[in-house]
A = this chain, B = another copy of it.
Amino acid sequence: MVDLSVRIGGLTLANPVMPASGTFAEGLARVIPLDRLGAFVTKTIMREPRAGNPVPRVAEAGDGMLNSIGIPSKGVAPFLAETVPFYRGYGPPLVVSISAHSADEFAVLAREVTVEGVAAIEANISCPNIEADGRAFAMEPGTTAAVVERLRAATPLPLWAKLTPNTGDVAAVARAAEAAGADAVVVANTILAMSINVESFRPTLGNVMGGLSGPAVKPIILRMVYQCARAVGIPVIGCGGISTADDAVEYLLAGASAVQVGTASFIHPTALTSVIDGLEGFCARRGIDRVADLVGAVAEGPVAEGPAAEVAW
C-alpha cells in the first residue's frame, strides 16, 4: 500500500491531486466519484456579480487551449448558499478561489468565505490590480506582499497564493507571498497568449488575448515550480499541463507537494482519477512507500558511469 497523503501547510490531503480553479464544478460528479479527489478547488469568485467576456471564449491552440472566460461570477451570496453546501456532501476539503481588484476587496471577500465547510482559500492574484495600473498583483513581489498580508490578517484559514506565470521572476514573487504569510503557492495560472484566424483575419478569442493552458505550457510551468520550490519553504502546488500520472510525477520531482489538473479534465473528465490511480501505480512499481518522497527528488549530479554507458550514445 502506497501512502498517497501529503501535507499542505496545516491541511492533510488524502492524495496530492486536485482540480485547478475554473476547470471544475459540480458537473464532474456525473462522471467521476468526487470523493476520490485530494481536494476541491472552485472557480474563482469575486464579490460582485459579473458577466465575463464575449464569446468565443476558448480556442484550440495546438497541444493546448486559449481561454478568455474571465470571471463570470454570481457573487458571494449564491456561492455560500449553494456551492459550499454542495461540496459539504463530500469528504475532500474545499478550497475556495477568490479574486478582487484591490487588497481591500480581497480582504473583505476572504472574510466572507471564511465559513464552515471551507478548508482553505486560494487567492487568485493573477487578475488585474486596479490600484497598480491594471497589472496583476502577482506580477510584482511588492503588490503580492501587500495583498497577501491583508488576506493573512483577514482570515485564519490556510491561505494559498496562486501566482501568474506572466512575470520575469516568479521565484521572487513566491518569496514575497511566503514572507507575507501565505501557507502555499500555486504555480501557476495561464500564460497570456493569442491566435488569429488567417482566413478571417480575426482573433480566435472574442477578447483578443487569453490564457494558454494544457500540455503546451508544461515545460514552462514546471520550470517555475522548480524555481519556486528552491526559493521558498512553504509547499508549492504545481499546475500547468498535467494530463497523466507521469506529468504529476514530473511536477513532484521538480518540487511540487501537490498538483492541480485543469485543461486535461476537459479532454478526459476521468483525468483526475486516472492521475491518482497512475500515481499509486508508479509508486508501487518503483517501490516508493510514500508519494511525498517524490517531492523535490529530481536528481541533479553528473550522470553516473556504469554499464549503461556501454552503448554508443
Question: What residues make up the interface of A, taking CB atoms closer than 8 Å to B?
Answer: 61-64, 66, 135, 139-140, 166-169, 191-196, 198, 200-203, 208-209, 212, 215-216, 218-220, 222-223, 226, 246, 249-250, 253-254, 282, 297-300, 303
Q: In the assembly, how many copies of this chain are there?
A: 2
Task: Jot down 7 A-B pairs with beta carbons below 8 A, ordered by A.
Answer: A64-B219, A193-B220, A193-B223, A194-B223, A194-B226, A198-B250, A212-B220
Residues of B contacting A64 with CB < 8 Å? 216, 219
A201 and B168 within 8 A (CB): no
Q: Are A298 and B202 in contact (CB-based, < 8 A)?
A: yes
In the complex, the answer to whether A200 meets B253 with C-beta atoms within 8 Å is no
Counting chain B CB atoms within 10 Å of each CB, which of A195, A219, A298 scores highest?
A219
Q: Which of B61, B200, B202 contacts A219 (CB 8 A)?
A: B61
Q: Which residue of B lies closest to A204 (CB)?
A: B219
How far is the CB of A196 from the nearest CB of chain B, in Å? 5
Known A-B contacts A168-B166, A202-B298, A202-B303; A254 and B215 likewise in contact (beta carbons under 8 Å): no
A169 — which chain B residues lie within 8 A by C-beta?
Answer: 135, 139
Say yes or no: A202 contacts B299, CB within 8 Å: yes
Residues of B within 8 A of A246 (CB): 198
Contact A219 B201 (CB under 8 A): no
Partner of A63, one of B62, B135, B220: B62
- Knowing A198-B250, A226-B194, A253-B196 touch, does A208 contact B63 (C-beta < 8 A)? no
Residue of B nearest to A208 (CB): B300
Q: Check B209–A194 contact: CB distance below 8 A.
A: no
Cα distance A300–B202 when bound, in Å?
6
- When the two chains form their complex, are residues A201 and B298 in contact, meaning their CB atoms are under 8 A apart? yes
Write out the residue numbers on chain B whose beta carbons fall within 8 Å of the beta carbon of A195. Answer: 218-219, 222, 250
Q: How far is the CA of A21 from the CA of B219 in the complex (A)?
A: 22
Contact residues in B for A209 (Cβ distance below 8 Å) = 223, 226
- Given A193-B222, A193-B223, A298-B196: A201 and B63 interface contact (C-beta under 8 Å): no
Q: Which of B194, B198, B254 contacts A196 (CB 8 A)?
A: B254
State the 3 A-B residue pairs at the shortest beta-carbon distance, nearest first.
A193-B219, A167-B168, A201-B299
Q: How far is the CA of A169 from the CA of B62 in the complex (A)?
A: 25
Chain B residues lying within 8 Å of A219, measured Cβ to Cβ, are 61-62, 64, 66, 193-195, 212, 216
* Complexed CA–CA distance, A102 and B76 (Å): 52
CA distance A200 to B218 in the complex (A): 19
CA distance A64 to B217 in the complex (A): 10
User: In the bound complex, what is the Cα–Cα distance between A215 and B64 (angstroms)?
Assistant: 11
Whether A203 and B250, one on each chain, are in contact in the complex, defined by CB atoms closer than 8 angstroms, is no
Question: Which residues from chain B contact A194 at a C-beta distance below 8 Å?
Answer: 219, 222-223, 226, 254
Query: Please, which residues of chain B bring their CB within 8 A of the CB of A200?
Result: 299
CA distance A216 to B64 in the complex (A): 8
Instruction: Kindly provide the distance from the CB of A261 to the nearest chain B CB, expressed in whole angstroms.
Output: 16
